[in-house]
Structure 1
Amino acid sequence: MFALAPVIPDVAGFDDLLQESLAEGHRMLLRFDESWRSGSNRFERPGETVLGLLDDRVLVGICGRNIDPYDINPRAGRVRHLYVGQSVRRRGAGRLLIAAILDGAATHFDYLNTNAPDTAFAFYERLGFAHLPGVDHVTHRITVG
Structure 2
Amino acid sequence: MKNMIIHKIADLGAVDITELLTESKEEGFRNIHRLVNEYKEGINTFQREDEALFECRVGHRVIGICGLNRDPYADGSIGRIRRLYVLKEFRRHGAGRRLVDAVIHMASSHYTKIVLKTDNPKAAKFYEKLGFKEKKDDELVTHEPEL
State the TM-score, normalizing by the size of structure 2.
Answer: 0.91
Q: Deviation per CA, 1:65-107, whole angstroms, max 9, x where unpaired?
A: 0001122x32011000000001201101110101111113122
d(CA) in 2 for partners of 1:53, 1:80? 15
Cross-structure match for 1:113: 115
Is the 1:132–1:138 contact (alpha carbons within 8 Å) kept by the matching residues of 2? yes
The 1:64–1:34 alpha-carbon spacing in structure 2 relative to 1, beyond 3 Å, is: same
1:140 aligns with 2:139: no
Residues 110 and 143, structure 1, Cα contact 8 Å, conserved in 2: no
Cα deviation for residue 9 of structure 1 reads 4.3
User: Number of paired residues?
Assistant: 142
Per the alignment, residue 15 of structure 2 pairs with: 11
Identity %: 34
**For the residues of structure 2 that align with 1:85 and 1:39, how far apart are their CA atoms?**
25
8 Å CA contact retained: 1:113, 1:141: yes
| Structure 1 unmatched runs, 5+ | none
Q: 2:31 aligns with which of 24, 28, 45?
A: 28
Matched, 1:122 2:125: yes
- d(CA) in 2 for partners of 1:95, 1:76: 20
Unmatched segments (≥5 aa) in structure 2 = none
TM, length-normalised to structure 1: 0.92
Report the more deviating stretch, 75-84 or 38-47: 38-47
Shift >4 Å, 4+ stretches:
none
Q: Which amino acid is 2:109 matched to?
A: T
More displaced 10-residue stretch of structure 1: 18-27 or 101-110:
101-110
Q: 2:106 corresponds to which residue?
A: 104
In 1, Cα distance between equivalents of 2:82 and 2:129: 18
